[in-house]
Amino acid sequence: MFADYSMAELTSIFAMQAFAGLILFSVFVLMALGLAIIFGQMGVINMAHGEFMILGAYITYLTSHIFSEYAQNLFDIYFFVAMILAFIVTFALGALVEWGLIRHLYKRPLDTLLATWGLSLILQQIYRSVFGAREVGVTLPDWLMGSVALSESIEIPINGLFVMGLTLIIAVGVALMMYRSRWGCQVRAVVQNRTMAGAVGINTEKVDRMTFALGCGIAGIAGSAFTMIGSTGPTSGQLYIVDTFLVVVFGGASSLLGTIASAFTISQAQSTMEFFLSGSMAKVLTLLVVVGILMLRPQGLFALKIRR
């Protein structure tokens, strides 16, 4: 397997594959962060999470069009505007969905799963009617194009670096909010003991709505970042939803650190194997190993030590 390559080539192959894995890792982390909040903290299964992400991607697409039509000179910074817009819209939709759908189903997690699946079908059809069935892509501003050459054979694309930086900022932001802010404290209190949290004066309904909406908002940002490395179609979200759930479950549902660690493991394993095996076999093997490990260790990699 390795005999045909020289040592230097092998190094650069591994470096490039590892970098491709890092980009995949960033996408996984961005998607999984939202889910880790919604599923890990609230225990709600949101099958429409992928569609929230795609909504963010479509908003970025629309913003890029608006900027190139009306504000050509500001095109370089459209991406930041798009990201904020994507967050606001998905946050609002998330709050609406929580109000209309999720809050009636907190006691029936399996039913939430079905209802949000229904929601995802509806959203997919709406995207298809509004944006068409074909995949769309955005034009990147000039400063995001091109790549940085580290050595003769190792080149790193700038948009990949940007996505990674963005992921880092958002991950740190979420961690700060969860573990350092008053709101995060309330969320964790509600998760641990809803009745007691209510009794000490936390408005649990409001916390639930904010938590769900924030998870959706992060999905929106993830979708916005996603447009930089791939094109968006009405069903793109569905492709990622299983992977993302596995990432969250594998990491240990209630641990943010676990989510990041498992996203790293899964993405690196997949992209390294992809070079040597066919893409589908790499994916099958990765998923099988993850499912196998989950069968041996159902609580995931990083589990809270609590008795149930």
Report if residue 201 touches other proteins, rule: CB under 8 A: no
Instruction: Work out which of 15, 105, 158, 303 binds other proteins, going by CB under 8 A.
Output: 105
Instruction: Work out which of 30, 36, 42, 45 binds other proteins, going by CB under 8 A.
Output: 45
Q: How far is the CB of 264 from other proteins (least distance, A)?
A: 19
In angstroms, rounded to a whole number, what is the distance separating the alpha carbons of residues 211 and 255?
Answer: 16
Report if residue 93 touches other proteins, rule: CB under 8 A: no
* Pair type for strands 147-149 and 155-157: antiparallel
Instruction: Work out which of 62, 66, 95, 101 binds other proteins, going by CB under 8 A.
Output: 101
Side-chain half-sphere CA neighbours of 293 within 13 A: 17
Q: How far is the CB of 45 from other proteins (least distance, A)?
A: 6
Nearest alpha-carbon partner for 243 in 22, 32, 18, 42: 32
Q: Name the token pair of 89.
A: 């819209």
Instruction: Work out which of 41, 124, 236, 271 binds other proteins, going by CB under 8 A.
Output: 124
Q: How far is the CB of 116 from other proteins (least distance, A)?
A: 9
**CB neighbour burial string for 64-79, b if at least 16 within 10 angstroms, e if fewer:** beebeeeeeeeeeebb
Q: Do residues 183 and 159 touch, judged by C-beta distance below 8 A?
A: no
> What residues contact residue 140 under an 8 Å CB cut-off, 6+ apart?
159, 228
186 vs 270 by CB, closer to other proteins: 270
Q: Name the token pair of 70.
A: 């009306």
Instruction: Work out which of 89, 93, 115, 261 binds other proteins, going by CB under 8 A.
Output: 115
In angstroms, rounded to a whole number, what is the distance separating the alpha carbons of residues 212 and 96?
Answer: 10
Q: How far is the CB of 10 from other proteins (least distance, A)?
A: 26
Of residues 127 through 146, those in contact with other proteins by CB under 8 A are 128-129
Contact set with other proteins (CB under 8 A): 43, 45, 101, 104-105, 108-115, 117-126, 128-129, 238, 242, 245-246, 249, 278, 280-281, 283-284, 287-288, 290-291, 294-295, 298
